[in-house]
Amino acid sequence: IAIGPCNEVAAQQAIARARARLTHYRAVMFVSANAVVYFFESNQPVALINKALTATIIRAWAPGPGTARALLSAGFLPSDIDSPAADALQFDSEALWQQVAQQVQPNDKVLIVRGRSGDTSNALIATTDQAIQGTGRDWLARQIEAAGAQVDFVVAYERKASTLSPTEIMLAQRAAQDGSLWLFSSSEAVAYLAKALPMQSWAHAQALVTHPRIAQAARDLGFRTVQECRPALNDVIASIESTA
């Protein structure tokens, strides 16, 4: 996956409006570290914004430790960040909601900062609104709305399929046959791999994935074996070593 900023005028205007109205929200949920980086890119350092934030009760929500670290690097205080427990089985919307559900009150507003697919042929971004607002974390949005709050979305970055070189394609074809272990942390990465090698058989390939939804995507593609692990570095390393 290749990741970069959304350069469309409409998307840039939407993110500027969201940054200007940051203190109007009860909380801002960043879907990933990339969401943090690109939300504040080409803007005042977040430390300058914090003067206004300290006068509010705004919270920064992170679905996992990588996003939380990005928020700390951006200038947020640890006491301002909510995320799943370090020993959570998953770092996702469900685990985050367990931590933040009690914060949300009727008539609150929550901003979700997320990405979008850069593939304009993808039905997920078939409308202008979806192109500006992005996709993902819809389950979390429904929980927030069910609690009586309003959810706004803004796109901070764009995900596209990487263009594989002939050498990389040969490597991928060989790795599909020689017992190499494929590590996936995104269902979209699985989809882009299938698009890059449309005729490739994965009947002899094995995958290590960090979420059940990614596991299903790998099985649907045809991976012979799919192993799941927690999305934490130590767990990933242990899982890789166990297959050696």
Predicted confidence (pLDDT) per residue in 161-201, tens digit: 989 999 999 999 999 999 999 999 999 999 999 999 999 99
Which pLDDT value is given to residue 117? Answer: 80
Neighbouring C-alpha atoms within 13 Å toward the C-beta of 204:
11
- Consecutive H or E run containing 112: strand 109-117
Cα(97)–Cα(107) distance, rounded to whole angstroms?
18
Average pLDDT score, the chain: 86
Strands 2-4 and 150-160, how do they pair?
A: antiparallel
Query: Do the Cβ atoms of 114 and 151 come closer than 8 Å?
Result: no
pLDDT at 194: 95
- Select from 218, 190, 238, 212 the least CA-distant residue to 92: 212
135: which 2 tokens?
A: 């996709």
Closest among 21, 39, 17, 20 to 30, alpha carbons compared = 39
- Would you state the pLDDT for residue 125? 36
What span, in angstroms and rounded, lies between the C-alpha atoms of 241 and 127? Answer: 44
Q: Give the global pTM.
A: 0.77
| Contact between 97 and 115 (Cβ < 8 Å) | no
Which residues in the chain show pLDDT less than 70? Answer: 42-57, 118-136
Tell me how far CA of residue 125 lies from CA of 90, 178, 202, in angstroms: 27, 36, 28
Residues 162, 3: Cα–Cα separation, whole Å: 9
User: What element of type H or E holds 116?
Assistant: strand 109-117
By three-state DSSP, how is residue 93 classified?
A: helix
Report which residue type is found at 37.
V
Q: Is 113 left (phi over 0), alpha (psi -120 to 50) or beta?
A: beta
8 Å CB contact between 108 and 145:
no
For residue 50, the model assigns a pLDDT of 54
Radius of gyration of the chain (CA): 19
Q: What is the pLDDT of residue 40?
A: 86
Could you give the CA distance from residue 49 to residue 57 in angstroms, rounded to a whole number? 14
pLDDT of residue 129: 45
Res 53: pLDDT: 53
**Phi, psi at 3, each rounded to 5°:** -120, 135
Q: How much is the pLDDT for 206?
A: 96
Question: Rounded to an integer, what distance in angstroms lies between the CA atom of residue 242 and that of residue 91?
Answer: 22
Give the HSE-up count for residue 100: Cα atoms under 13 Å, Cβ half-sphere: 27
